[in-house]
């Protein structure tokens, strides 16, 4: 049975110290060896969305790793959608604005997919993804620590460690492939041609014709199946359906990343704080949907996510038809990336 080291939430100031202690008291970092190149996979937050993991925790992890004479660095991939993190230059500026500078943290930030357009290498994965494109940087990494902010997500219901690896350790193409498994539906009868969807679409896809949105089929290949236009439409004319499918493919991508790094070389930290409605990738966090729970450390990615989900009210994540947050852990266990059954060790 997998172990999940857990420290319950107290208050913000105490928590950083408690986190630093749990890193040293547990055997979480026991597999780290001198000179290991350690990728700390994190999410720095979309510009001005500050719900992400606080940099002091990342600094604490880097300090503990440096004591082991290894080479930690922070990393993430650029986004497939337009925004502040679409290119490596934008990503690095954003990292600086949000406090993830070398001066603050003690480790550099290296964008995983080059300047933002590394096509990566292909890894065979299960259907319906079949193929995953992984940035070349991951060929050179010895170990990875996935540091995730636990929160809601407009498409997958929940974002924790599984989501962080699946969507965050792949190229733009694989991110789009995963988003395309959901079904895009448009109800012409509900549309009043208000233009709100046009204003939010980075790809300029919505076209207005005769007082209604006209979905131009030839441009649909560009559509990112992002929820931006759906969320902008107050008439409910746009819907993304079968969202459970995107939650189901996330563990398949994790399995692909494990083929590259080795399952035994990936460890997860879940930060159960600032539990908000939207993912860190959105420009706003939305409502708080749960109380801070604590911090979870495990060498089992499924157990880490499951332990957090056991501490929250699942239904608060399932707003507006979002899928059950446990789909990711259930599917993950089915394909063998981890186990839902775990032993909680309170430190
Ligand atoms: S936001 Fe909705 S109602 Fe307005 S034009 Fe777009 S689809 Fe139609
Ligand atoms: S889902 Fe909507 S906002 Fe997103 S790219 Fe497609 S048309 Fe544009």
Q: Of the ligands numbered here, which is closest to the C-alpha atom of 193?
A: 1
For 56, 100, 128, 299, the CA distances from 103, given in Å and listed in that order, are: 12, 8, 43, 29
The model carries a pTM of: 0.93
Task: Render pLDDT for 324-346 as a digit per residue (tens, 0 to 9).
Answer: 999 999 999 999 999 999 999 99
- Atom 8 (ligand 1): residue with closest C-alpha? 191
Looking up residue 203, the CATH number of its domain turns out to be 3.30.70.20
What is the pLDDT confidence band of residue 214, given thresholds at 50, 70 and 90?
confident
- Please say which residue of 241, 267, 285 terminates a domain: 241
Taking 80 as the threshold, does the pLDDT of residue 220 lie above it? no
344 lines ligand 2 (CB under 6 A): no
Taking 80 as the threshold, does the pLDDT of residue 218 lie above it? no
Task: Render pLDDT for 245-286 as a digit per residue (tens, 0 to 9).
Answer: 999 999 999 999 999 999 999 999 999 999 999 888 888 899
- Token pair belonging to 204: 């300029």
Q: Are residues 41 and 141 in the same domain?
A: yes
Q: Are residues 210 and 62 in the same domain?
A: no
22 near 347, Cβ under 8 Å?
yes
Provide the domain limits for residue 126.
Answer: 2-177+243-346
155 lines ligand 2 (CB under 6 A): no
Continuous segment of H or E residues that includes residue 58 = helix 55-66
Task: Render pLDDT for 129-163 as a digit per residue (tens, 0 to 9).
Answer: 999 999 999 999 999 999 999 999 988 999 999 99
- Token pair belonging to 26: 């547990």
237 lines ligand 1 (CB under 6 A): yes
Task: Render pLDDT for 150-207 as a digit per residue (tens, 0 to 9).
Answer: 999 988 999 999 999 999 999 999 999 999 998 888 888 899 999 999 888 888 888 8
Task: Render pLDDT for 96-126 as a digit per residue (tens, 0 to 9).
Answer: 999 999 999 999 999 999 999 899 999 999 9
In angstroms, rounded to a whole number, what is the distance separating the alpha carbons of residues 238 and 186?
Answer: 5
How many independent structural domains does the chain possess? 2
Q: How many CA atoms lie within 13 A of 224 on its CB side?
A: 19
Q: How far is the CA of 252 from the centre of ligand 2 (A)?
A: 25
In angstroms, rounded to a whole number, what is the distance separating the alpha carbons of residues 281 and 139?
Answer: 26
Q: How many CA atoms lie within 13 A of 143 on its CB side?
A: 21
What is the pLDDT confidence band of residue 73, given thresholds at 50, 70 and 90?
very high
Ligand 2 pocket mutation, candidates 198, 205, 214, 237, criterion most atoms within 8 A of CB:
205
Ligand 2 pocket mutation, candidates 224, 230, 243, criterion most atoms within 8 A of CB:
224
- Token pair belonging to 188: 């012409």
Looking up residue 95, the CATH number of its domain turns out to be 3.40.50.11440
- Atom 2 (ligand 2): residue with closest C-alpha? 229
Strands 342-346, 266-272: parallel, antiparallel or unpaired by DSSP?
A: unpaired
In angstroms, rounded to a whole number, what is the distance separating the alpha carbons of residues 240 and 182?
Answer: 6
pLDDT at position 191: 92
What is the pLDDT confidence band of residue 231, given thresholds at 50, 70 and 90?
confident
157 near 323, Cβ under 8 Å?
yes
């Amino acid at each position: 049975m997998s172990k999940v080291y857990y420290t319950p939430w107290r208050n913000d100031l105490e928590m950083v110290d408690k986190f630093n202690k749990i890193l040293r008291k547990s055997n979480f970092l026991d597999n780290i060896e001198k000179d290991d190149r350690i990728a700390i996979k994190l999410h720095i937050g979309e510009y001005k969305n500050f719900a992400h993991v606080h940099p002091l925790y990342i600094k604490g992890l880097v300090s503990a790793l440096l004591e082991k004479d290894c080479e930690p660095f922070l990393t993430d991939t650029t986004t497939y959608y337009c925004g502040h993190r679409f290119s490596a230059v934008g990503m690095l500026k954003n990292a600086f604005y949000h406090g993830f500078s070398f001066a603050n943290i003690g480790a550099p930030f290296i964008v995983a997919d080059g300047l933002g357009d590394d096509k990566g290498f292909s890894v065979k994965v299960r259907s319906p993804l079949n193929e995953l494109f992984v940035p070349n940087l991951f060929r050179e990494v010895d170990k990875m620590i996935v540091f995730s902010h636990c929160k809601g997500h407009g498409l997958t219901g929940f974002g924790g460690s599984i989501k962080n690896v699946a969507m965050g350790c792949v190229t733009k193409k694989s991110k789009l492939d995963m988003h395309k498994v959901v079904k895009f539906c448009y109800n012409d009868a509900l549309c009043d041609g208000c233009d709100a969807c046009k204003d939010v679409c980075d790809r300029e896809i919505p076209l207005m014709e005769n007082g209604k949105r006209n979905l131009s089929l030839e441009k649909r290949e560009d559509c990112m199946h992002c929820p931006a236009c759906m969320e902008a439409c107050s008439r409910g004319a746009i819907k993304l359906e079968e969202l459970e499918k995107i939650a189901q493919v996330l563990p398949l991508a994790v399995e692909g990343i494990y083929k590259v790094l080795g399952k035994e070389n990936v460890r997860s930290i879940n930060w159960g704080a600032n539990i908000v409605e939207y993912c860190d990738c959105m420009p706003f966090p939305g409502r708080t949907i749960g109380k801070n729970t604590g911090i979870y450390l495990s060498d089992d990615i499924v157990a880490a996510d499951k332990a957090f989900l056991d501490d929250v009210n699942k239904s608060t994540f399932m707003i507006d038809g979002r899928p059950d947050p446990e789909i990711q852990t259930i599917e993950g266990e089915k394909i063998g990336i981890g186990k839902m059954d775990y032993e909680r060790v309170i430190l």
